[in-house]
Amino acid sequence: MLGKTHMATGLLASIVTLPMVDTVHLKVWFSQASRGNFVNLEIAALWIGLGVVGSILPDLDEFHSIGTRKVEAVVRTILLLFFLFLTEQHGRFNTLSLIVLIVGVLTLMGGEIARKISMLMLALGCIVLLIMDAKYGTNFLSGMVLLTVWSIITAFVAHRTFTHSLLGLLVLGAGLGMALTPLHLLLLTYAVVIGYIVHLLADAVSGGVPVFWPLRLGKHTRLGIRLVKSGSAMDHTVGLASLILTVVLAAGYFH
């Protein structure tokens, strides 16, 4: 299924599940997290946005997916800023700033190399957060360790294996949940997990997903059917129908 279709179905799932969000609790954790006065619309926007993010996460195991390109762009920007900061601080190039520059340039190459570098940089980012925010306690630390593990495994496994399995969903969901609980942001995890599950369901009807990876079920590694061929008219129709339904439901909520 196309990345666009995944995003559209993720969007629809977020809109459908929006009324399930307990706005009272959301308001509590929002004020604790930011001390700002958020209105319902902003809470809804965050829920929906994270649902879409969750719906493209499983395809970070593929170099040409929408999510991978986004992660690469973010990693490249951070490396460039870090390079400028290091050069600025020392007044000249040094070994570390040159390494940062080389890694940044490598991500411009695209393909598997850029994807692997980006996933490993994501893992490094989790480790940095783990060290910097150790004050949030053991739950936060275990959560960041799980997110690091998820990123490293995703860097090296084949497409539609780990990230498209229950194990992958569990590691990511538990990692996010544990890391976000001490920050009073646990509810954000549910939005991401809903998007993630919808991605797996969508892939299950377009060729199947290895639900029990790394275990095999007899001859078959993937469970599912091939109702929708990636890039086909059906694929586009599912995406468009999801968008239309989203607009209809959103109009109902926010009229």
The residues that touch Zn ion, with contacts defined as CB under 5 A, are 58-59, 203
Nearer to Zn ion, 9 or 148 (CB): 9
Q: In angstroms, what is the minimal distance from the CB of 27 to Zn ion?
A: 34
Smallest distance, Å, CB 121 to Zn ion? 22
Measured from the CB atom, is 54 or 58 closer to Zn ion? 58
| Minimum CB distance to Zn ion, residue 240 (Å) | 19
Compare residues 122 and 198 and give the one whose CB is closer to Zn ion: 198
Distance CA 211, CA 223 (A): 7
**Nearer to Zn ion (CB atom), residue 72 or residue 203:** 203
CB of 118 to Zn ion, least distance (A): 17
